[in-house]
Structure 1
Amino acid sequence: MSYMESFLLALIQGLTEFLPISSSAHLILPSAILGWEDQGLAFDVAVHVGTLAAVVIYFRQEVIDLLSAFFASIFKGDRSKEAKLAWMIIIATIPAALFGLLMKDFIELYLRSAWVIATTTIVFGLLLWWADKRSSLTDDEYTADWKKSLFIGVSQALAMIPGTSRSGITMTAALHLGFTREAAARFSFLMSIPIILLAGGYLGLKLVTSGEPVHVGFLLTGIATSFVSAYVCIHYFLALINRIGMLPFVIYRLTLGVVLFGFLLLS
Protein backbone atom coordinates (compact mmCIF):
# COMPACT_ATOMS: atom_id res chain seq x y z
CA MET A 1 0.00 0.00 0.00
CA SER A 2 1.21 3.51 -0.84
CA TYR A 3 0.26 6.79 0.85
CA MET A 4 -1.87 7.63 -2.17
CA GLU A 5 -3.77 4.35 -1.86
CA SER A 6 -4.25 4.82 1.89
CA PHE A 7 -5.52 8.36 1.32
CA LEU A 8 -7.96 7.33 -1.44
CA LEU A 9 -9.27 4.30 0.47
CA ALA A 10 -9.80 6.37 3.62
CA LEU A 11 -11.50 9.09 1.57
CA ILE A 12 -13.82 6.47 0.06
CA GLN A 13 -14.59 5.06 3.51
CA GLY A 14 -15.33 8.48 4.97
CA LEU A 15 -17.54 9.62 2.10
CA THR A 16 -19.47 6.38 1.68
CA GLU A 17 -19.91 5.19 5.29
CA PHE A 18 -22.85 7.54 5.83
CA LEU A 19 -24.18 7.89 2.30
CA PRO A 20 -26.71 5.28 1.08
CA ILE A 21 -24.28 3.89 -1.50
CA SER A 22 -22.31 1.20 0.42
CA SER A 23 -18.85 1.82 1.85
CA SER A 24 -17.96 -1.89 1.76
CA ALA A 25 -18.67 -2.03 -1.96
CA HIS A 26 -16.41 0.90 -2.68
CA LEU A 27 -13.60 -0.50 -0.53
CA ILE A 28 -13.75 -3.95 -2.12
CA LEU A 29 -13.86 -2.64 -5.69
CA PRO A 30 -10.36 -1.09 -5.89
CA SER A 31 -8.79 -4.46 -5.16
CA ALA A 32 -11.19 -6.31 -7.46
CA ILE A 33 -10.91 -3.91 -10.41
CA LEU A 34 -7.62 -2.04 -10.01
CA GLY A 35 -5.66 -4.91 -8.54
CA TRP A 36 -4.79 -3.08 -5.32
CA GLU A 37 -3.64 -5.25 -2.45
CA ASP A 38 -5.98 -5.75 0.49
CA GLN A 39 -5.51 -2.84 2.90
CA GLY A 40 -5.11 -5.15 5.90
CA LEU A 41 -6.59 -5.27 9.39
CA ALA A 42 -4.66 -2.31 10.77
CA PHE A 43 -5.96 0.01 8.08
CA ASP A 44 -9.51 -1.29 8.56
CA VAL A 45 -9.25 -0.41 12.25
CA ALA A 46 -7.88 3.03 11.39
CA VAL A 47 -10.76 4.01 9.11
CA HIS A 48 -13.27 2.68 11.64
CA VAL A 49 -11.66 4.93 14.27
CA GLY A 50 -11.87 7.90 11.91
CA THR A 51 -15.52 7.46 10.96
CA LEU A 52 -16.53 6.67 14.55
CA ALA A 53 -14.83 9.83 15.78
CA ALA A 54 -16.59 11.85 13.07
CA VAL A 55 -20.12 10.72 13.94
CA VAL A 56 -19.56 10.94 17.71
CA ILE A 57 -18.12 14.45 17.51
CA TYR A 58 -20.78 15.65 15.06
CA PHE A 59 -23.57 14.35 17.31
CA ARG A 60 -21.69 15.02 20.54
CA GLN A 61 -24.59 16.79 22.25
CA GLU A 62 -27.05 14.09 21.25
CA VAL A 63 -24.62 11.40 22.41
CA ILE A 64 -24.22 13.09 25.80
CA ASP A 65 -27.99 13.52 26.17
CA LEU A 66 -28.72 9.93 25.14
CA LEU A 67 -26.09 8.43 27.44
CA SER A 68 -27.25 10.56 30.37
CA ALA A 69 -30.87 9.64 29.75
CA PHE A 70 -29.99 5.96 29.33
CA PHE A 71 -28.29 5.73 32.72
CA ALA A 72 -31.01 7.87 34.29
CA SER A 73 -33.60 5.42 32.95
CA ILE A 74 -31.80 2.60 34.78
CA PHE A 75 -31.05 4.30 38.08
CA LYS A 76 -33.79 6.93 38.30
CA GLY A 77 -36.59 5.54 36.15
CA ASP A 78 -36.27 8.34 33.58
CA ARG A 79 -38.95 8.11 30.86
CA SER A 80 -37.88 11.04 28.69
CA LYS A 81 -37.87 10.90 24.91
CA GLU A 82 -34.06 10.78 24.99
CA ALA A 83 -34.14 7.74 27.28
CA LYS A 84 -36.60 6.02 24.98
CA LEU A 85 -34.48 6.78 21.90
CA ALA A 86 -31.36 5.44 23.63
CA TRP A 87 -33.12 2.14 24.31
CA MET A 88 -34.46 2.00 20.75
CA ILE A 89 -30.92 2.37 19.39
CA ILE A 90 -29.81 -0.54 21.57
CA ILE A 91 -32.71 -2.67 20.33
CA ALA A 92 -31.85 -1.76 16.72
CA THR A 93 -28.22 -2.79 17.25
CA ILE A 94 -28.92 -6.32 18.53
CA PRO A 95 -29.90 -8.00 15.20
CA ALA A 96 -26.80 -6.76 13.35
CA ALA A 97 -24.51 -7.77 16.22
CA LEU A 98 -25.97 -11.28 16.32
CA PHE A 99 -26.00 -11.64 12.53
CA GLY A 100 -22.41 -10.45 12.36
CA LEU A 101 -21.26 -13.05 14.88
CA LEU A 102 -23.13 -15.90 13.22
CA MET A 103 -22.71 -15.10 9.53
CA LYS A 104 -19.49 -13.11 9.15
CA ASP A 105 -17.33 -16.05 8.06
CA PHE A 106 -19.94 -17.25 5.54
CA ILE A 107 -20.29 -13.77 4.05
CA GLU A 108 -16.51 -13.26 3.91
CA LEU A 109 -16.13 -16.58 2.10
CA TYR A 110 -19.03 -16.52 -0.36
CA LEU A 111 -20.46 -13.01 -0.77
CA ARG A 112 -17.54 -10.58 -1.02
CA SER A 113 -17.46 -10.56 -4.82
CA ALA A 114 -18.00 -7.94 -7.49
CA TRP A 115 -20.97 -9.92 -8.86
CA VAL A 116 -22.74 -9.76 -5.50
CA ILE A 117 -21.90 -6.06 -5.16
CA ALA A 118 -23.28 -5.25 -8.61
CA THR A 119 -26.52 -7.09 -7.83
CA THR A 120 -27.11 -5.65 -4.36
CA THR A 121 -26.16 -2.17 -5.52
CA ILE A 122 -29.04 -2.21 -8.01
CA VAL A 123 -31.60 -4.16 -5.95
CA PHE A 124 -31.26 -2.10 -2.78
CA GLY A 125 -31.02 1.10 -4.81
CA LEU A 126 -34.44 0.37 -6.31
CA LEU A 127 -35.77 -0.48 -2.84
CA LEU A 128 -34.51 2.88 -1.54
CA TRP A 129 -36.31 4.66 -4.40
CA TRP A 130 -39.54 2.77 -3.68
CA ALA A 131 -39.44 3.56 0.05
CA ASP A 132 -38.63 7.23 -0.55
CA LYS A 133 -41.50 7.62 -3.04
CA ARG A 134 -44.07 5.93 -0.80
CA SER A 135 -43.04 7.31 2.58
CA SER A 136 -45.45 9.59 4.43
CA LEU A 137 -42.40 11.58 5.68
CA THR A 138 -44.22 12.53 8.90
CA ASP A 139 -42.37 11.01 11.88
CA ASP A 140 -39.13 11.90 13.63
CA GLU A 141 -36.67 9.52 15.29
CA TYR A 142 -38.29 9.98 18.72
CA THR A 143 -41.46 8.23 17.52
CA ALA A 144 -39.61 4.91 17.12
CA ASP A 145 -41.02 2.15 19.31
CA TRP A 146 -39.51 -1.28 19.87
CA LYS A 147 -41.25 -2.80 16.83
CA LYS A 148 -40.00 -0.07 14.48
CA SER A 149 -36.53 -0.19 15.99
CA LEU A 150 -36.34 -3.96 15.64
CA PHE A 151 -37.48 -3.71 12.01
CA ILE A 152 -34.77 -1.16 11.26
CA GLY A 153 -32.28 -3.28 13.21
CA VAL A 154 -33.05 -6.38 11.16
CA SER A 155 -32.58 -4.34 8.00
CA GLN A 156 -29.21 -3.18 9.35
CA ALA A 157 -28.19 -6.83 9.69
CA LEU A 158 -28.67 -7.23 5.92
CA ALA A 159 -25.94 -4.64 5.40
CA MET A 160 -23.40 -7.36 6.21
CA ILE A 161 -23.92 -8.34 2.56
CA PRO A 162 -21.49 -6.18 0.53
CA GLY A 163 -23.14 -3.59 -1.68
CA THR A 164 -26.25 -3.29 0.49
CA SER A 165 -25.13 -0.16 2.39
CA ARG A 166 -25.74 0.02 6.13
CA SER A 167 -26.94 3.61 5.98
CA GLY A 168 -28.90 2.93 2.80
CA ILE A 169 -30.88 -0.04 4.11
CA THR A 170 -31.58 1.54 7.52
CA MET A 171 -32.79 4.74 5.86
CA THR A 172 -34.90 2.65 3.50
CA ALA A 173 -36.51 0.87 6.46
CA ALA A 174 -37.07 4.13 8.34
CA LEU A 175 -38.62 5.80 5.29
CA HIS A 176 -40.90 2.78 4.85
CA LEU A 177 -42.08 3.34 8.43
CA GLY A 178 -42.92 6.98 7.70
CA PHE A 179 -39.85 8.82 9.00
CA THR A 180 -38.88 12.09 7.41
CA ARG A 181 -35.70 11.91 5.35
CA GLU A 182 -33.71 13.85 7.94
CA ALA A 183 -35.07 11.72 10.81
CA ALA A 184 -34.26 8.54 8.89
CA ALA A 185 -30.71 9.79 8.36
CA ARG A 186 -30.26 10.90 11.98
CA PHE A 187 -31.54 7.60 13.34
CA SER A 188 -29.28 5.72 10.93
CA PHE A 189 -26.24 7.80 11.93
CA LEU A 190 -26.91 7.39 15.67
CA MET A 191 -27.37 3.64 15.11
CA SER A 192 -23.97 3.55 13.42
CA ILE A 193 -22.14 4.49 16.63
CA PRO A 194 -22.55 1.18 18.51
CA ILE A 195 -22.23 -0.93 15.36
CA ILE A 196 -19.01 0.81 14.22
CA LEU A 197 -17.70 0.51 17.79
CA LEU A 198 -18.44 -3.23 17.80
CA ALA A 199 -16.93 -3.75 14.34
CA GLY A 200 -13.86 -1.70 15.18
CA GLY A 201 -13.40 -3.55 18.46
CA TYR A 202 -13.68 -6.91 16.71
CA LEU A 203 -11.13 -5.88 14.08
CA GLY A 204 -8.86 -4.41 16.75
CA LEU A 205 -8.90 -7.69 18.68
CA LYS A 206 -8.10 -9.62 15.50
CA LEU A 207 -5.24 -7.20 14.81
CA VAL A 208 -3.74 -7.66 18.28
CA THR A 209 -3.90 -11.44 18.08
CA SER A 210 -2.70 -11.65 14.48
CA GLY A 211 0.64 -9.97 15.01
CA GLU A 212 0.22 -8.11 11.71
CA PRO A 213 2.82 -5.35 11.25
CA VAL A 214 1.54 -1.80 11.62
CA HIS A 215 2.60 1.12 9.42
CA VAL A 216 1.97 4.19 11.57
CA GLY A 217 2.04 6.61 8.64
CA PHE A 218 -0.66 4.74 6.75
CA LEU A 219 -2.78 4.43 9.90
CA LEU A 220 -2.58 8.15 10.68
CA THR A 221 -3.44 8.94 7.06
CA GLY A 222 -6.44 6.62 7.27
CA ILE A 223 -7.72 8.04 10.56
CA ALA A 224 -7.35 11.69 9.58
CA THR A 225 -8.74 11.33 6.06
CA SER A 226 -11.73 9.18 7.02
CA PHE A 227 -12.53 11.52 9.93
CA VAL A 228 -12.54 14.72 7.88
CA SER A 229 -14.39 13.25 4.90
CA ALA A 230 -17.00 11.52 7.10
CA TYR A 231 -17.64 14.67 9.15
CA VAL A 232 -18.11 16.81 6.04
CA CYS A 233 -20.31 14.13 4.50
CA ILE A 234 -22.63 13.95 7.53
CA HIS A 235 -22.98 17.73 7.67
CA TYR A 236 -23.89 18.27 4.03
CA PHE A 237 -26.05 15.16 3.77
CA LEU A 238 -28.26 16.35 6.64
CA ALA A 239 -28.32 19.87 5.24
CA LEU A 240 -29.40 18.79 1.76
CA ILE A 241 -31.38 15.57 2.07
CA ASN A 242 -34.82 17.14 2.55
CA ARG A 243 -34.30 19.22 -0.60
CA ILE A 244 -32.70 16.69 -2.94
CA GLY A 245 -34.33 13.49 -1.69
CA MET A 246 -32.89 10.03 -2.31
CA LEU A 247 -33.13 10.04 -6.09
CA PRO A 248 -29.52 11.18 -6.77
CA PHE A 249 -28.22 8.29 -4.69
CA VAL A 250 -30.60 5.85 -6.40
CA ILE A 251 -29.37 6.99 -9.82
CA TYR A 252 -25.76 6.65 -8.65
CA ARG A 253 -26.37 3.12 -7.39
CA LEU A 254 -28.11 2.03 -10.59
CA THR A 255 -25.35 3.54 -12.73
CA LEU A 256 -22.64 1.92 -10.61
CA GLY A 257 -24.38 -1.45 -10.77
CA VAL A 258 -24.75 -1.34 -14.56
CA VAL A 259 -21.12 -0.27 -15.01
CA LEU A 260 -19.98 -3.09 -12.73
CA PHE A 261 -21.97 -5.68 -14.67
CA GLY A 262 -20.52 -4.33 -17.90
CA PHE A 263 -17.00 -4.51 -16.54
CA LEU A 264 -17.51 -8.06 -15.25
CA LEU A 265 -19.03 -9.31 -18.49
CA LEU A 266 -16.21 -7.83 -20.56
CA SER A 267 -13.35 -8.88 -18.31
Structure 2
Amino acid sequence: MDLSYAQAIITGFIQGITELFPVSSLGHAVLVPAWVGGSWKALTTGANSPYLIITIALHCASALALLWIFRVRWFGLIAGGLGTLKKKPNPEGSLFWLVVLGTIPVAVLGLIFEKSLRELFSNPFASAAFLTINGIILIIAERFSRKTTTSDSIIEEDSEILSRVSPKIALSIGLGQSLALFAGISRFGITMSAGLVRGLSHKAASDFAFLLALPVILGTSIIKLPKLFAPEYSHLIGPILAGSVTSFIFTYASVKFLVKWFKTRTLYPFAIYCLVVGVASLIRFA
Protein backbone atom coordinates (compact mmCIF):
# COMPACT_ATOMS: atom_id res chain seq x y z
CA MET A 1 0.00 0.00 0.00
CA ASP A 2 1.35 3.43 -0.96
CA LEU A 3 1.57 6.61 1.08
CA SER A 4 1.65 9.95 -0.70
CA TYR A 5 3.90 12.80 0.37
CA ALA A 6 0.81 14.87 1.19
CA GLN A 7 -0.56 12.14 3.46
CA ALA A 8 2.82 11.71 5.15
CA ILE A 9 3.24 15.44 5.80
CA ILE A 10 -0.31 15.86 7.11
CA THR A 11 0.13 12.81 9.35
CA GLY A 12 3.45 14.24 10.58
CA PHE A 13 1.73 17.54 11.36
CA ILE A 14 -1.00 15.77 13.36
CA GLN A 15 1.60 13.68 15.20
CA GLY A 16 3.75 16.70 16.02
CA ILE A 17 0.87 18.75 17.36
CA THR A 18 -0.82 15.99 19.35
CA GLU A 19 2.11 13.92 20.72
CA LEU A 20 2.75 16.13 23.75
CA PHE A 21 -0.63 17.83 23.89
CA PRO A 22 -2.78 15.83 26.35
CA VAL A 23 -5.12 14.70 23.56
CA SER A 24 -3.53 11.41 22.38
CA SER A 25 -1.55 11.39 19.16
CA LEU A 26 -2.34 7.71 18.60
CA GLY A 27 -6.05 8.39 18.96
CA HIS A 28 -5.84 11.10 16.32
CA ALA A 29 -3.81 8.78 14.08
CA VAL A 30 -6.86 6.49 14.09
CA LEU A 31 -9.71 9.01 14.10
CA VAL A 32 -8.52 11.47 11.45
CA PRO A 33 -8.24 8.84 8.66
CA ALA A 34 -11.57 7.34 9.76
CA TRP A 35 -13.29 10.74 9.52
CA VAL A 36 -11.71 11.59 6.15
CA GLY A 37 -12.43 8.16 4.67
CA GLY A 38 -11.33 6.92 1.26
CA SER A 39 -7.64 6.14 0.86
CA TRP A 40 -6.99 7.64 4.31
CA LYS A 41 -9.29 5.12 5.97
CA ALA A 42 -7.67 2.29 4.01
CA LEU A 43 -4.34 3.23 5.60
CA THR A 44 -5.52 2.12 9.03
CA THR A 45 -7.80 -0.75 8.01
CA GLY A 46 -5.94 -2.37 5.09
CA ALA A 47 -4.64 -5.87 5.76
CA ASN A 48 -1.10 -5.00 4.63
CA SER A 49 -1.13 -1.37 5.71
CA PRO A 50 2.22 0.04 6.91
CA TYR A 51 0.42 2.76 8.87
CA LEU A 52 1.50 1.53 12.31
CA ILE A 53 5.12 1.42 11.15
CA ILE A 54 4.81 4.93 9.72
CA THR A 55 3.33 6.16 12.98
CA ILE A 56 6.29 4.71 14.88
CA ALA A 57 8.70 6.62 12.62
CA LEU A 58 6.83 9.84 13.36
CA HIS A 59 6.96 9.06 17.09
CA CYS A 60 10.72 8.68 16.77
CA ALA A 61 10.92 12.15 15.24
CA SER A 62 8.86 13.51 18.14
CA ALA A 63 11.21 11.83 20.61
CA LEU A 64 14.23 13.43 18.94
CA ALA A 65 12.59 16.87 19.19
CA LEU A 66 11.86 16.28 22.87
CA LEU A 67 15.42 15.11 23.47
CA TRP A 68 16.83 18.17 21.74
CA ILE A 69 14.74 20.61 23.78
CA PHE A 70 15.62 18.97 27.10
CA ARG A 71 19.14 17.82 26.19
CA VAL A 72 20.83 19.82 28.96
CA ARG A 73 18.30 18.59 31.50
CA TRP A 74 18.78 14.97 30.45
CA PHE A 75 22.55 15.29 30.57
CA GLY A 76 22.23 16.44 34.18
CA LEU A 77 19.79 13.66 35.07
CA ILE A 78 21.92 10.91 33.56
CA ALA A 79 25.07 12.28 35.20
CA GLY A 80 23.20 12.45 38.50
CA GLY A 81 21.91 8.91 38.09
CA LEU A 82 25.44 7.63 37.46
CA GLY A 83 26.57 9.60 40.50
CA THR A 84 24.16 7.73 42.75
CA LEU A 85 25.71 4.46 41.58
CA LYS A 86 29.01 5.80 42.90
CA LYS A 87 27.45 6.46 46.30
CA LYS A 88 27.05 10.18 45.62
CA PRO A 89 23.39 11.03 46.37
CA ASN A 90 22.05 14.10 44.54
CA PRO A 91 18.61 15.49 43.60
CA GLU A 92 19.07 14.99 39.86
CA GLY A 93 20.06 11.38 40.44
CA SER A 94 17.00 10.77 42.59
CA LEU A 95 14.75 12.26 39.91
CA PHE A 96 16.47 10.15 37.25
CA TRP A 97 15.60 6.94 39.09
CA LEU A 98 12.00 8.10 39.59
CA VAL A 99 11.76 8.45 35.80
CA VAL A 100 13.22 4.95 35.38
CA LEU A 101 10.67 3.53 37.83
CA GLY A 102 7.85 5.33 36.05
CA THR A 103 8.96 3.85 32.73
CA ILE A 104 9.20 0.18 33.75
CA PRO A 105 5.44 -0.67 33.99
CA VAL A 106 4.49 0.73 30.60
CA ALA A 107 7.50 -0.92 28.94
CA VAL A 108 6.65 -4.34 30.36
CA LEU A 109 2.91 -4.14 29.71
CA GLY A 110 3.50 -2.81 26.21
CA LEU A 111 5.58 -5.85 25.30
CA ILE A 112 3.05 -8.26 26.81
CA PHE A 113 -0.09 -6.81 25.24
CA GLU A 114 1.33 -5.52 21.95
CA LYS A 115 -0.58 -7.96 19.74
CA SER A 116 -3.96 -7.32 21.39
CA LEU A 117 -3.49 -3.56 21.30
CA ARG A 118 -2.57 -3.67 17.62
CA GLU A 119 -6.04 -5.07 16.89
CA LEU A 120 -7.61 -2.11 18.70
CA PHE A 121 -5.43 0.33 16.77
CA SER A 122 -7.67 0.40 13.69
CA ASN A 123 -10.96 0.67 15.61
CA PRO A 124 -12.18 4.30 15.53
CA PHE A 125 -15.09 3.65 17.90
CA ALA A 126 -12.73 2.32 20.57
CA SER A 127 -10.40 5.28 20.04
CA ALA A 128 -13.34 7.68 20.38
CA ALA A 129 -14.38 6.02 23.64
CA PHE A 130 -10.86 6.25 25.06
CA LEU A 131 -10.54 9.88 23.96
CA THR A 132 -13.77 10.68 25.82
CA ILE A 133 -12.42 8.92 28.91
CA ASN A 134 -9.21 10.91 28.54
CA GLY A 135 -11.18 14.16 28.69
CA ILE A 136 -12.96 13.01 31.86
CA ILE A 137 -9.63 12.12 33.48
CA LEU A 138 -8.23 15.58 32.74
CA ILE A 139 -11.27 17.26 34.31
CA ILE A 140 -11.07 15.07 37.43
CA ALA A 141 -7.37 15.87 37.79
CA GLU A 142 -8.05 19.60 37.61
CA ARG A 143 -10.85 19.36 40.16
CA PHE A 144 -8.55 17.62 42.63
CA SER A 145 -5.45 19.70 41.89
CA ARG A 146 -4.17 22.15 44.46
CA LYS A 147 -3.50 25.81 43.87
CA THR A 148 0.28 25.91 44.16
CA THR A 149 2.79 28.53 43.20
CA THR A 150 4.90 28.14 40.08
CA SER A 151 8.67 28.47 40.04
CA ASP A 152 10.91 29.08 37.04
CA SER A 153 13.82 27.40 38.82
CA ILE A 154 14.61 23.85 37.68
CA ILE A 155 16.17 23.16 41.08
CA GLU A 156 12.97 24.18 42.87
CA GLU A 157 10.87 22.14 40.41
CA ASP A 158 13.00 19.06 41.07
CA SER A 159 12.64 19.57 44.81
CA GLU A 160 8.87 19.90 44.43
CA ILE A 161 8.68 16.66 42.43
CA LEU A 162 10.93 14.76 44.85
CA SER A 163 8.93 15.96 47.85
CA ARG A 164 5.61 14.72 46.47
CA VAL A 165 6.52 11.75 44.25
CA SER A 166 7.93 8.74 46.10
CA PRO A 167 9.29 5.64 44.32
CA LYS A 168 5.96 3.92 45.00
CA ILE A 169 4.05 6.83 43.47
CA ALA A 170 6.41 6.84 40.46
CA LEU A 171 5.58 3.17 39.85
CA SER A 172 1.85 3.89 40.13
CA ILE A 173 2.21 6.76 37.65
CA GLY A 174 4.00 4.31 35.36
CA LEU A 175 1.02 1.98 35.60
CA GLY A 176 -1.20 4.93 34.74
CA GLN A 177 0.97 5.62 31.71
CA SER A 178 0.13 2.13 30.53
CA LEU A 179 -3.39 3.32 29.77
CA ALA A 180 -1.84 5.34 26.94
CA LEU A 181 -1.19 2.05 25.14
CA PHE A 182 -4.84 2.41 24.09
CA ALA A 183 -5.37 4.82 21.21
CA GLY A 184 -7.28 7.78 22.67
CA ILE A 185 -5.60 7.95 26.09
CA SER A 186 -2.86 10.56 26.32
CA ARG A 187 0.40 9.51 27.98
CA PHE A 188 1.26 13.12 28.76
CA GLY A 189 -2.25 13.78 30.05
CA ILE A 190 -2.26 10.75 32.36
CA THR A 191 1.17 11.56 33.79
CA MET A 192 0.40 15.23 34.32
CA SER A 193 -2.98 14.40 35.87
CA ALA A 194 -1.28 12.09 38.36
CA GLY A 195 1.18 14.84 39.24
CA LEU A 196 -1.60 17.35 39.81
CA VAL A 197 -3.49 14.97 42.08
CA ARG A 198 -0.27 14.49 44.06
CA GLY A 199 -0.17 18.24 44.64
CA LEU A 200 2.38 19.36 42.06
CA SER A 201 2.00 22.74 40.39
CA HIS A 202 0.97 22.66 36.73
CA LYS A 203 4.49 23.58 35.68
CA ALA A 204 6.17 20.89 37.81
CA ALA A 205 3.59 18.28 36.78
CA SER A 206 4.11 19.06 33.10
CA ASP A 207 7.87 19.00 33.58
CA PHE A 208 7.69 15.51 35.11
CA ALA A 209 5.39 14.42 32.28
CA PHE A 210 7.87 15.65 29.66
CA LEU A 211 10.65 13.69 31.36
CA LEU A 212 8.58 10.49 31.52
CA ALA A 213 7.47 10.82 27.90
CA LEU A 214 10.91 10.58 26.32
CA PRO A 215 12.06 7.08 27.42
CA VAL A 216 8.78 5.45 26.38
CA ILE A 217 8.46 7.19 23.02
CA LEU A 218 12.13 6.78 22.12
CA GLY A 219 12.39 3.20 23.37
CA THR A 220 9.31 2.05 21.47
CA SER A 221 10.49 3.77 18.30
CA ILE A 222 14.00 2.33 18.42
CA ILE A 223 12.70 -1.22 18.90
CA LYS A 224 10.35 -0.96 15.91
CA LEU A 225 12.40 1.32 13.65
CA PRO A 226 14.43 -1.46 11.91
CA LYS A 227 11.19 -2.69 10.32
CA LEU A 228 11.12 0.51 8.27
CA PHE A 229 14.12 -0.74 6.34
CA ALA A 230 12.49 -4.01 5.33
CA PRO A 231 12.31 -4.44 1.51
CA GLU A 232 8.52 -4.09 1.41
CA TYR A 233 8.76 -0.55 2.81
CA SER A 234 11.67 0.70 0.69
CA HIS A 235 9.38 2.68 -1.62
CA LEU A 236 7.98 4.58 1.40
CA ILE A 237 11.27 6.00 2.70
CA GLY A 238 10.76 9.37 0.96
CA PRO A 239 7.26 10.07 2.33
CA ILE A 240 8.25 8.76 5.76
CA LEU A 241 11.24 11.12 5.91
CA ALA A 242 9.01 14.03 4.86
CA GLY A 243 6.48 13.14 7.54
CA SER A 244 9.21 12.70 10.14
CA VAL A 245 10.72 16.13 9.48
CA THR A 246 7.25 17.65 9.77
CA SER A 247 6.65 15.75 13.01
CA PHE A 248 9.96 16.97 14.46
CA ILE A 249 9.23 20.62 13.64
CA PHE A 250 5.71 20.64 15.06
CA THR A 251 6.62 18.59 18.13
CA TYR A 252 9.32 21.14 18.88
CA ALA A 253 6.84 24.00 18.48
CA SER A 254 4.14 22.30 20.57
CA VAL A 255 6.52 21.56 23.47
CA LYS A 256 7.72 25.16 23.51
CA PHE A 257 4.08 26.27 23.56
CA LEU A 258 3.12 23.90 26.39
CA VAL A 259 6.07 24.91 28.57
CA LYS A 260 4.74 28.48 28.50
CA TRP A 261 1.09 27.43 28.71
CA PHE A 262 1.37 25.51 31.96
CA LYS A 263 3.07 28.37 33.75
CA THR A 264 -0.32 30.06 34.06
CA ARG A 265 -3.02 27.82 32.53
CA THR A 266 -4.78 24.50 33.07
CA LEU A 267 -5.85 21.27 31.36
CA TYR A 268 -9.48 22.33 30.98
CA PRO A 269 -9.32 23.45 27.31
CA PHE A 270 -7.75 20.13 26.33
CA ALA A 271 -10.35 18.22 28.35
CA ILE A 272 -13.20 20.01 26.57
CA TYR A 273 -11.59 19.30 23.20
CA CYS A 274 -11.30 15.58 24.02
CA LEU A 275 -14.93 15.39 25.12
CA VAL A 276 -16.26 17.19 22.05
CA VAL A 277 -14.19 15.20 19.54
CA GLY A 278 -14.66 11.95 21.46
CA VAL A 279 -18.44 12.18 21.73
CA ALA A 280 -18.80 13.36 18.11
CA SER A 281 -16.69 10.40 16.99
CA LEU A 282 -18.71 7.97 19.11
CA ILE A 283 -21.86 9.16 17.36
CA ARG A 284 -20.17 9.04 13.95
CA PHE A 285 -18.76 5.52 14.28
CA ALA A 286 -21.49 3.89 16.40
For residue 28 of structure 1, what is the aligned residue in structure 2?
30
Distance 1:49 1:2 in 2: 20
Higher mean displacement: 205-214 or 170-179: 205-214
Q: What is the TM-score with the length of structure 2 in the denominator? A: 0.86
What SS class does the counterpart of residue 142 from structure 2 fall into? helix
What SS class does the counterpart of residue 88 from structure 2 fall into? coil
For residue 54 of structure 1, what is the aligned residue in structure 2?
65
Higher mean displacement: 45-54 or 221-230: 45-54
Distance 1:130 1:251 in 2: 12
Selected match of 1:134 from 125, 144, 158: 144
| 8 Å Cα contact 1:44/1:203 also seen in 2 | no
Query: How do 1:1-267 residues align onto structure 2 when only pairs under 5 Å count?
Result: 1-35=3-37, 36=40, 37-38=43-44, 40=51, 42-74=53-85, 76-110=86-120, 112-138=122-148, 140-143=160-163, 144-208=165-229, 211-265=232-286
Distance 1:80 1:213 in 2: 47
CA offsets per residue over residues 157-186 of structure 1, 9 Å max, x none?
111011011111111111111111111111
What SS class does the counterpart of residue 185 from structure 1 fall into? helix
- Structure 1 residue 223: deviation in Å? 1.9
What SS class does the counterpart of residue 28 from structure 1 fall into? helix
What SS class does the counterpart of residue 234 from structure 2 fall into? coil
- Structure 1 residue 23: deviation in Å? 0.3
Q: How has the CA–CA distance of structure 1 residues 7 and 208 changed in structure 2, closer, same or farther, with 3 Å as cutoff?
A: closer
Distance 2:237 2:70 in 1: 28
Distance 2:4 2:172 in 1: 41
Letter in 2 for 1:161: F
Letter in 1 for 2:31: L
CA offsets per residue over residues 59-104 of structure 1, 9 Å max, x none?
1110110011111111x21211100000000000000001101111
Distance 1:165 1:137 in 2: 23
Higher mean displacement: 8-17 or 133-142: 133-142
Q: What is the TM-score with the length of structure 1 in the denominator? A: 0.92
- CA RMSD between the two structures: 1.8
Distance 2:258 2:275 in 1: 20
CA offsets per residue over residues 26-52 of structure 1, 9 Å max, x none?
111233232312453552343122101
| 8 Å Cα contact 1:96/1:157 also seen in 2 | yes
What SS class does the counterpart of residue 215 from structure 1 fall into? helix
Unaligned runs of 5+ in 1: none
CA offsets per residue over residues 196-229 of structure 1, 9 Å max, x none?
1211022114445675324332122122111110
What SS class does the counterpart of residue 178 from structure 1 fall into? coil
Higher mean displacement: 87-96 or 178-187: 178-187
Number of equivalences: 264
Letter in 2 for 1:142: L
Distance 1:113 1:243 in 2: 36
- Structure 1 residue 142: deviation in Å? 3.3
What SS class does the counterpart of residue 23 from structure 2 fall into? coil
Distance 2:15 2:110 in 1: 19
Distance 2:194 2:81 in 1: 24
| 8 Å Cα contact 1:41/1:203 also seen in 2 | no
| 8 Å Cα contact 2:101/2:171 also seen in 1 | yes
Letter in 1 for 2:245: A
What SS class does the counterpart of residue 159 from structure 1 fall into? helix
